[in-house]
Structure 1
Amino acid sequence: MPMIDVTVVRGSIAPPKTQALLDDLATTLLRWEGAPDTEFFREVTWVYLHEIDADRLAVGGRPGGAPRFRIDITVPAGALSERRKTGLIADVHATVVAAAELDPHSAQAMHVWTLIREVPEGNWGVAGAPVAFAQLKQASAAEHERIDSPR
């Protein structure tokens, strides 16, 4: 049930690249969570793109200058180990840099920030009820078994 919020200055990513970016971010998050890339898990992995006008970004309280990219990733607490967080941050950075056509070694590539927010157990609800991380792990295991079993 992860969610990704991507906030960018309008025009920072060419429109033809936005759909691929959203799909790539979902794929990347599923992979690092260890969740199977199935229709069920894609259905519960949401990616929002928030484009803001350049005058809505301030850096140090002043007009922002070069575009900035903020990627907020929300996952249940315990879904990502430190190793998985490190890999996720690196892959999200590479995905956004490629979509925005930035030189990965430029100062502008430093304007891609990724934040991982972990929701404590009992603080995530679906359909009016809390969802336990253990339930998600069970669903993931069942999906892995379903797609990995010989037919």
Structure 2
Amino acid sequence: MPMIRLTAPTGALTEEGRAGIQRDLATLLLRWEGVPDTAQFRAQAWSYLIELPEGAQTTAEDDAPRLLVDVTVPQGALSERRKAGLVEDATKAVLKAAGLSQDDALRVWVLIHEQPDGSWGAGGSVIRFADLLALARKSEGGTTDA
């Protein structure tokens, strides 16, 4: 039940980048979680693009666009290795979508928020990480190592 949200100033993404970044980020998140690539899991990988109005983002130094990726996953879903891979790949995807080079990587931040077990609900029920692991095990091709 992952969720990924990109916050970017309006105009910071290329036209092509804006068209594909949400699915790209959701796909990356699922891959780094190690869940099966099934329609059921893809449908639960929610991806949001929040575009800030002009002047809504700045730093103490300049007005060059900064891009923020917020990732929310169940606690325990990502090992340290998986977190590092997700951060690296999400940064690359956002840089590409914004038409920026690796030299601009510090303009992309990735924050991973782990939701404590028992504090995520969907469909009117609390979703526990153990339930998600069991579901992944039932699906073909799934890896469940965190």
The answer to whether TM tops 0.5 is yes
Instruction: Tell me the equivalent position of 1:51.
Output: 51
Matches within 5 A, 1:95-114: 95-104=93-102, 106=103, 108-114=104-110
Equivalent pair of 2:6/2:48 in contact (CA under 8 Å): yes
Instruction: Tell me the equivalent position of 1:15.
Output: 15
Instruction: Tell me the equivalent position of 2:3.
Output: 3
**Partner residue of 1:71 out of 69, 76, 87:** 69
- Paired with 1:115 and 1:54, the residues of 2 have a C-alpha distance of 23
TM-score by length of 2: 0.91
- Paired with 1:29 and 1:50, the residues of 2 have a C-alpha distance of 18
**Partner residue of 1:92 out of 90, 93, 101:** 90
Point out the more displaced range, 15-24 or 81-90: 15-24
Instruction: Tell me the equivalent position of 1:143.
Output: 139
Indicate the SS of the match to 1:58. coil
Q: How many residues align?
A: 142
Question: Aligned-pair distance for 1:20?
Answer: 1.6
- Paired with 2:46 and 2:129, the residues of 1 have a C-alpha distance of 17
Question: Aligned-pair distance for 1:18?
Answer: 1.8
Structure 2: 5+ residue stretches without partners: none
Question: Aligned-pair distance for 1:57?
Answer: 1.1
Structure 1: 5+ residue stretches without partners: 147-151
- Paired with 2:19 and 2:136, the residues of 1 have a C-alpha distance of 25
Alpha-carbon RMSD: 1.5
Pair 1:131 & 2:127 matched: yes
Aligned identity (percent) is: 43
Instruction: Tell me the equivalent position of 1:149.
Output: none
Equivalent pair of 2:71/2:110 in contact (CA under 8 Å): yes
- Paired with 1:111 and 1:98, the residues of 2 have a C-alpha distance of 12
Structure showing greater Rg: 1
